[in-house]
Structures are given as structure tokens and as C-alpha cells.
Chains A and B, each alone.
Chain A
Amino acid sequence: MTDSSEPAPDGGYAGATDELPAATDEGGHATTESHGLPPYGSVKRWFVTTNHKDVGILYTVTALFFLVFGGVLALLMRVELFAPGASVLSAIGYNQTVSTHGLIMVFWFLSPFAFGFANYVVPLQIGAKDLAFPRLNALSYWLYLFSGLLLGVSFFQGGTFSGGWTMYAPLNIPTYTPSIGASTAILALVLFVASVTVSSVNFLTTMHRMRAEGLTMRRLPIFTWTILLTVWMMLFAFAALLAALMILSSDRLLGTTYFAVTSPGGSILWTHLFWFFGHPEVYIVFFPALGVMAETFQTFTGRRIVGRKWFIAAMVLVALQSFVVWMHHMFLTSINLQIKTLFMATTIGISLPFDLMVFSLIYTTIKGKVRFATPFLFTFGALILFIVGGITGVFLGAVVLDYQFRGTYWVVAHFHYVMVGGVTALIGGLYYWFPKMTGKMYDEFLGKVHFVLYFIGFNLLYFPMFVAWETPRRVFEYPEALTVWHQLATVGGFILGASFLVMFYNLTRSLVDGEAATGNPWAYSTTAEWAIPSPPPLENFPGVPSYRSGSLDFLGGSGATDGGEVTDGGAVVARDGQAHETGTQAAHAGEPESHASIWPFVLSVGAFFVFLGLSGLQEGSFVPGLAGDVYLALALVGGTITMGSFVGFGLEHFHAPTGPFGESWPFEAVENTKLGVWIFLASDVVLFGAFIGTYVFVRISAGWTGWELVPGDPIPGLMNTYLLLTSSFTVILALVAAEKKSRWGVIASLTTTILLGIGFLVNKGLEWNHLFHEGIAISSNVRTSTFFLTTGLHAAHVVSGLVIAVYLLARAWRGAYLDDERPIEYFGLYWHFVDIVWLFLFPLFYIL
């Protein structure tokens, strides 16, 4: 690219005009016709949009809202800590503040803030027109927003959760945190995890399958790399968290006894499940910040990242290792010395790749043309903060020191230097991409003022915590001698908070009457988002992006958005493998992508009410009185809305990007939806794996061989094994029938599958009923809890499968799937997976 700041004229580009706020009326109308997307100015647009750039903006704005929310809570704490002893907040109020501050910052601010950029920038960097599943992307956003609102509601239900963001057992069960709001907070997290899972599947499919020609994995920009690794970690880590949260919800709502005081190893179990998620989570929130650092270091020093491939290799290593360091959070529990030693070693191991990354960034500045514009000030500052955080982290790696630092402000200071250090880089990212996202330049002077206040405030807030490290965490009493340090920290907290007022003023003001930004306001930026206008048009690129020549080109120019013929489509399609795909692609060629759907929003509203309703459950029944009726009604209404929107979702004609795509390694021959299904199933493997792992752990704690099986008789289980195996076989028959274009074959096989599935559930119902009559209940003890909950989760999977099967049957009745049997195939993948899970649950719970 020679002159890329002003790209080729975008005439003939249907979506281009409506993206400019100035020209909404005429342009907007035309697009409503073709994309169903109202213009920017319209409020409706923000409810229906599925375009990745809009969703990115929604994520960013919402995350900033939660930053303010969590920040205000932090300031409340700092006010409380200005002097030892309770003053402003009640004791339980303080615990709630501590807990929700942590939850909001870690879950509802940090990752979503990064995912605002990921949504906006990653498709641009990889040369995709949108994510693989645009509606699921919108769904992720709305689930995220509504999960956050649900957390907000929890404050008004007798107080929210007060057991810390780590939610240690058994403080997390109703015996010790009885308020309904505490359950709501847990359910809000479950909903949040749903959002993350959908998002991970979507991003992984997109980033692996939809890269521009020539953009092989090793050529991906580092920011994109960080997001890729982040979503891989998310996929597995959040599945483990989901298992933990489901078990916790079950303890809170249904009365299972996993974490009860009487359960063997209950509190250790929680720490394992939580930290198995919790440690990768540290990198999940930090990696995107690292990506922003790498991008801005390259841009603002005018030097290519030193040792780029080592940098990437180091990150891959960290992503893998992040799953084997979790027990360093448990050094003081009753785990044995051998495993402590092992995890100490892995922990040291994981710190070393970070050294490499830090050095790589520092060396990048050498011989540079370093310009301290606001984005770089923030990321440069972030690196300094991260170095301090890293060094103080080595202290924690020495177990003898960790024994003393555990539960003190040393830990608080350390992880704030690391995590808020990450935030610092992300703020830099906000300034960096603000011109791209809005088409307006921010005010450089105010940006620098923000940085100065921020950096002073940050260090004044967190550094004294190192000095006052003997203060226990989450406590408002501390020795008088430490008062001065806590007062400094409080002052710093307010300076840090005030610095954001400058930022909000700056960005809002610039949005209204800032200088127009060119396509590429930064010298030496390299990535594709800077090669298109600011903000980019709806379809992103003026042609098909390709790196075949060794640098970015837009092939085919205007109009040829799907132009297989221009991009040497034959080769691409051939690489894409399967023959039937070519047919579909041809059929859709030229049809513009859709960008609007109301169903993600509606579905999330439904889910919000379902979860709000469920929060009224205690010990398996709704709380007594009118409140209970209201909760039940909410759950029912929410359930109806959710089911309705699923159908609406399924029936809606929506055209996602279909390719052909350039680079799809290592999934060239796997179509997007199939890959999506497999990735989702992988997360489900971890979910069930964690459930089974929990069972194994609990049973070992209680003594493996002394464990009495809950069902006295394996025969009902064997019957169910037969039923499920047979139903798997009939799904195969349905697929074979569809391939043979036999409508009746499909209908008959699907009907049999459904009947067998129902038979499975009926048989299970009879078995459970029998057990209940014998006085064996879900809440009897931890043995019955594991039995009913694990097999119950499996049954829930069967139910979901049946719902899909009924939908398929209804469509098959009208002759669907004979030309395109893939929906049946993909349903089969899920159904067989549920079958496989049962193949292990059956011996574990019925025989062994």
C-alpha cells in the first residue's frame, strides 16, 4: 500500500454512506432495505445491530459504565479505610462492597472492555467483514449487559453477595450468606459465563476460519494473537467456572450439599474449581492489554516488535501453562507438599515468558522515533506498572514468603499493579482506537492531563499498600501505625477516579466537535484497520483484503464484496474442501450480509427474567408468600420469551458472511457452523469433565471404596444406556436418509429419536421417583447430591437436544434438509456427545 490513509473511493458501496452520521437520511433508508439496519442516529439501531463494529462500541461503552460502577464501590472502600474502624459502611455492607467491586471489575469491566476492541478491531485486522455468527455476537453483548443488570438488581434483594469475588466455600452457601440477592449475584455470573461461551465460540471460529488471503497464523498482528489466545483460554477456563457456579447455584437453590460444612473436602473442592478457572483468568484479562502494548509500542516507536515470533511463542506457552499453576493460590490449604512443590515449579515457569515479553517491548524502543502521544503514554506507563507488579509477584512465588503474604495487602497491591496495569494499557488502547471508532480525534492536551493524573493517582493508591502490607485483606480494622499509608491510598484513589472525569469529558467533547480523524492518524501503524476510513464503512473494506502480494491489497475494488472470481475463488473453494459447500456459497454469492436482528436482545431479556425468577428458589421451592409467586411468574414469563425468541432466531432469514475466505488454518475443510458446534462441544467437555472431576474428588475425600452408590440397581441405568445408544443410531439413520433425499426416512428417524429421548427421560423420572419414595433426596448428603446433580445436568442436555430435535422434525415435515442435511449432522454431533457423556456417567454412578 502506498497511500493508504485515504483509501480508494468507496462508491457503489451500499453501506458506506449511512455510516457517516452526517448523511443519515437518504443513505439510511436504502440500507434499511438491504441490511435491515437503521442509521446511526436511530435508537433502534443499537437494539438490533449485529455488526461487529456497533457491538464493539456497545461493549466499550457498557464496560466503561461498569468501570464507573466498580470504581465508585472502590472509592467507598477507600473512604471507609481512611481511618481504622467502621465509619461509613456497615460490616456486611463493607463485605458486599468488597465482593461486588471485585466481581464487577474482573468480570463486567476488564474482559468486556478488551472485547470492545476485540469486536471492533479483530475482524478488521484479519480482513473479515464480520464475525462468523453476527447474531451470536449481539447475543453475547446482550447477555453480558443483562447479566450486569441482574447483578445490579441483587443489591435490592436483601443485599447482594458478600463472600468476596473468590466466593470461598462454605461462606458462599445460604447457611452463611442467606440473602436472595446473594443467589442472584451467582446467577448473574452464570449468565455472564453464557455470554463468554457464546463469544468464545464465535471468535475462535472467526479467527481461525476467516482470515484474509496470505494472513497465516504466524503473520497475525500481535493484538489479534492475544485475543486468539485469550478466547482459547476463556473457552476452557470459563467452562470450569460454569461447573463451579452451577454446583454453587444448585447448593443455593436446590439444596445440594457439595459445599456444606459436613461435606468432605467441600471448601478445598471450591478452591480447586475456582482457581482452575481463576488463574487462566488472570491472563485472560491481561493478554489483550499485552496486545495493545505490542501494537502501540510498534506504532509509537516506529520499530517492529523485537523477536516477534518469540513474543508470540511466549504467549502460547503462557496460555498452556496457565492451566497448571492454579494451586499456588492454595499453598496454605491442606494440599500436600509434593503438589505444592510441583505447582511452585510451574509458577516460576510461567513467570519467565513474561520476562521475555517485557524485554521484547523494551528493546523495541531502541533506535525508535518515540512519540509520547496519549496512547503511548498509557501503554509505556502500563509497562512500568507491570514490571513493578511482576517483581512483587516473584515474592509470592517463594512459598515461604507467600505463607506470610497470603490474605494481606501485599497481594492486593501486587494484583492491582498487574491487573490495573493492564487496564492502563487498555485505556491507551481506547485513545489509540478512538479516532478509528468515532472518526474524531481526541484532545491531545487533555489526554496527557489524564495520563499524569492517572499515573500519580495509581501509584499513590497502590504503592502505599506494599508498605502497609501487613493489613489483612477485606478488613476495615488495621493498626493505627498504618493509618497514614491508607490515607495516602485513599487520596490516590480519588485522584485516579478524577482522572477519568478528564477522560470522559475529553472523549465526549471530541465526539461532538472534535477534529475529524483521517483513516490513519498514526505514523508507522501497520495493521489493516488503519488502511480504511475512520469510522470504517459497514462492509469494512473497499474490496477483498488480501496479503498475497506480501502486503495488504484490496482486490476487485468496489462492489465485488463476495467476489470469488476476483480472488482466484476457484483455488479458495477447492481449499475449502467439501463439495456441497461450494453449492451453498454459489447460491448466496452477491447476497449482502445481514446486519440486524432483534432476537439477541429479546432472548437476553427473557434470560434475564428466567434467572431473576430462579433467584427466588431455596431448597428446591420458591420462597413462601407473594414474593415466591412473583419469582415463579418471572421465571415462567422469561422462559416463554426465551423459547419464543429461540424460534424467532431459528426462523429468521439472516445472512452471515459465507466466504470463500482466504486463510482458514487449521480448519480449512470444516465449515463455520460445524467448527462452531465442535468448539462449543469442547467447552461442554470441560463442563462435564469438571462435574465428573468433582465427583471423583468428593468420592476420594470420602473414601473411594467406602462410597455407597445411590441407585441400588444398575438396571434402570442400563435401560437408559440402551435407549440413548439406540437414539444415537437413529440420528445417524436420519442423516443417511437426508443424504438419500428420503423425506419420510428423515421424519421417521427423527421421530424415533425423539421418542427414545422421551423414553430416556421417563425412565429416569420413574427411577428418581422411586428413590424419592425411599427417602433419598437431592439434599440428603453429598453422595445423593453428586448423583442427582450430575445425571440431572446430563438430563438437561437431553432435554435441550429434544427441543432441537422437535424443531428439526417440524422443519423436516415441510421438506427441509433434503438439499442440505448439515443441520441434522450438527444436531447429531451434539446428540452423540450427550450419549458419550452418559457412557461414563453410567458406570461411575451405577456400577463402580
Chain B
Amino acid sequence: MHPMALFPAFVAPLQSGLVPDGGRDEIFRAIFVVFLVLGTIVGVVVIGYMLYNGYKFRDRGDRDGEDGIDRPELGELPEGGGGGRKLALSLLLSALIVITLITWTYFALVDVETRAVENDDTLNIQVEGYQFGWEFIYPNGNTSDTLRVPEDRTVRLTVTSRDVFHNFGIPAFKMKTDALPGQTTDTWFQPNETGTYQAQCFELCGAGHSAMNANVSVMEPEAYEQWYANTTSDDAASGNATGTTAATAGNATTANNGTTPA
């Protein structure tokens, strides 16, 4: 089922610009910064208040009763304790902050979860983790141990594992998903700068876990098409000949044929 179908009310705020938009890394950064700033403020205020109280009410050695305060006594039965209103207020305030923040990010979540589904122009690539490396399977059946993708296009990954529980992540694009044997998970990213990046395994998977990396090469669209066309000709036996002449068209066809249900 299309997840958005469940949350029609959420579409409006998504379009209003309140919720961070753009690539995953931009969404992450926007939310992270807000959390970091607010978190730091809350932390400093609360801990500061604690320390202030601790200092202000430190024991000055005056005897009991002088300040007219009833102190706890040994063997007393605990009372319910006052201060309920103050507590409720503080709780309300913190609940307000937390719930607002999380709800706000929830729109971003729905966006992230549904983005690749909505976009027709996505490039679908399958990722298979194994001890200890990654294999990338392109729509034309070509496999590679380097993830090559064109700049400025949404790449949709369908990730699985051949053996144990891995987790495929590319820190630079703030993208990560579990690689489970017998299951697939979907994720996407949108590289907007050419260069070589690194994908890593983020779940302990055995002796070679620390070095379970793969290169991610973000190419100029033309360079990518050229490379992709060549790989297609390598696999020409499958009769995917159109790819050599019209790479873009061939690619789109394969995507529409749906290696993954879109």
C-alpha cells in the first residue's frame, strides 16, 4: 500500500515549505541543526538550574528548624509530596517541545519514505551484501563492486543480503538501510556532486566487518550513460541491445519494466 494514502492530512504541510526538502543530507542537516540547538539550550538551562539550586541551597551549617522547613525524619512514612502543579507544568512544557519536534520530523519521514516511490525518473539498483563486501546489480543485469550513479538523479536502492545481517550506508548522503537475508529493504538518495564516496557496513557482521566498504562513484550524467551503455553491451547476450544505441531510453524502459515494484 502507498503509505501516503494513510496520511492525506500530512500532504499539506509537506508542500508548505515548513518541512525541510531536498536531498537526504539536506533534510538530515536541517533537522539535526534544530535538534542540536534546542537540545543544547534545554541541556544548558536544565543542568544550569540544577547546579544553581545545588549551590544556592548548599548546607550552611545552620541548625534545623531555623528556616522553618520540615525536614524528613528517620522512620517516617513517606507522604504523597506536594509540588504536583509545578511538575505538571514542567512536564507539559517538555512534552510540548518533544512532541512538536517529533511531529515536525514525522513529515520529513513520510517525505523520505515516499519520495522514491513518487518519482518516475528513479534509477533502480539492487544491492547485495555478503561477507565482506557489496555487489551492485544494475537494471540490465550488470554487476559491479563499485556503485556508479549519475549526478542529480534519484537513485533507489533495493538492499538485501546473501548471508548475515548487514547494514548498507553511505554517510555522505545520509542514507542507510538494513541488509537482511531473505528480505529486501528500500531506500534512496540523490547525489548532487560528482566524486568518489564510501559506502560502509553499519552492523557487526563478522571478522571483516571493519573493512566492509565499497566505493561510490558519482559521475557526470553523460559519463555515466557512456559507462552504463558499455556495461550493457557486455551483457548483450540477454538481448538488451537497445541500450547501446539509446542509453537513456533503454534505461528508462528497464526501470519501467520494474525490477522493483514502484
Taking Cβ atoms with an 8 Å cutoff, the residues of A that contact B are 1, 4-5, 86, 90-92, 94-95, 98, 162-164, 168-171, 176-177, 214-215, 218-222, 261-268, 298-299, 301-311, 332-334, 337-338, 341, 344, 348, 351-352, 355-356, 358-360, 362-363, 365-372, 380, 383-384, 387-388, 391-392, 394-395, 397-401, 403-404, 406-408, 470, 472-477, 520, 524-526, 528, 530-531, 547, 550-553
Contacts and interface: CB of A to CB of B under 8 A. Distances in A.
B47 interface: yes
A394 B103 CA distance: 12
A400 B31 contact: yes
Chain B: interface secondary structure? mixed
Interface in B197-220: 200-211
A528 B77 CA distance: 10
Nearest to A347: B102
Given A1-B73, A395-B35, A356 B87 contact: yes
29 contacts: A91-B209, A162-B207, A215-B77, A261-B162, A264-B182, A265-B182, A299-B72, A302-B59, A302-B69, A307-B82, A307-B84, A308-B79, A332-B167, A337-B6, A344-B102, A344-B109, A355-B91, A362-B49, A363-B83, A365-B53, A365-B54, A384-B47, A401-B28, A401-B35, A406-B167, A407-B176, A476-B210, A524-B73, A547-B77
Contacts of B207: 90-92, 95, 162
Interface in B58-75: 58-60, 67, 69, 71-75
Interface of B: 3, 6, 27-28, 31-32, 35, 39, 42-43, 46-47, 49-50, 53-54, 57-60, 67, 69, 71-84, 86-88, 90-91, 94-95, 98-99, 101-102, 105-106, 108-110, 112-113, 131, 162-165, 167, 169, 171, 174-178, 180-185, 200-211
B183 A267 contact: yes
Contacts of B43: 387-388, 391
B203 A407 contact: yes
Contacts of B110: 337
Given A261-B182, A307-B82, A477-B210, A355 B28 contact: no
A171 B72 contact: no
Contacts of A371: 58-59
A370 B206 contact: no
A363 B75 contact: no
Given A308-B78, A356-B90, 9 more contacts: A94-B210, A218-B80, A262-B182, A307-B84, A310-B84, A337-B110, A352-B91, A370-B53, A380-B54
Contact of A302 (B72, B106, B202): B72
- Which of A90, A368, A553 neighbours the largest number of chain B CB atoms within 10 Å of its CB? A368
A95 B204 contact: yes
A599 B248 CA distance: 78
Given A403-B176, A473-B204, A307 B83 contact: yes
A475 B209 contact: yes
B180 A333 contact: yes
Nearest to B104: A398
B41 to A, nearest CB: 10
Contact of A362 (B46, B74, B113, B205): B46
A164 B207 CA distance: 12
Contact of A472 (B49, B94, B200): B200
A526 B87 contact: no
A470 B202 CA distance: 10
Contacts of A351: 98
A407 B202 contact: yes
Contacts of B77: 214-215, 219, 547, 550-551
A171 B164 contact: yes
A370 B83 contact: no
B83 A306 contact: yes
Given A306-B86, A308-B80, A355-B90, A397 B102 contact: yes
Given A176-B164, A303-B72, A398-B31, A369 B176 contact: no
Contacts of A171: 164-165, 204-206
A366 B53 CA distance: 6
Given A307-B87, A370-B59, A392 B39 contact: yes
Nearest to A351: B98
A407 B184 CA distance: 19
Given A304-B81, A355-B94, A406 B202 contact: yes
A313 to B, nearest CB: 11
A404 B174 contact: yes
Contacts of A348: 98-99, 102
Contacts of B86: 306-307, 359, 363
Q: Which 3 A-B pairs have the closest CB atoms?
A: A407-B202, A552-B75, A308-B81
Contacts of B47: 384, 387-388
Contacts of B113: 337
A166 to B, nearest CB: 8
Contacts of B184: 334
A369 B68 CA distance: 12
